[in-house]
Structure 1
């Protein structure tokens, strides 16, 4: 089963790396594909939608229309972490 999430704050490959790494750690998530151009995340598996949304909010990548200043700040932090992880 594939679930689609339209989110905010995806800026670069670092963001995508942080999102994918975090979501793949969730139970019942089999694969994660991200299309930065349309700010969409495709999650394969049987994970509950609410759990994925909670993780995305925690990372700073909320669903469209749910953005806050705090979530934007979190996304910048996770973007930097993702960029550092990319270079390893």
Structure 2
């Protein structure tokens, strides 16, 4: 199922997003371990707060990275993958 711009993503219970100095990267922590995120994934998940919808997240990232052009497709694809990985859910 496609991700809609009106959907509101949030981290699944038990997951915590943070910067990990030892990894020099953003990570997702969960009871069984940790996922080290690349820069793009970290930038998207940094904006996932359970209040912003996908359109808001895309707008924030397009302002932050103006040279990247339209990010809608990339953000939606990542969020769909993150949902399939069970990192996030949609409220």
**TM-score in terms of structure 1 length:** 0.35
Structure number with larger C-alpha Rg: 2
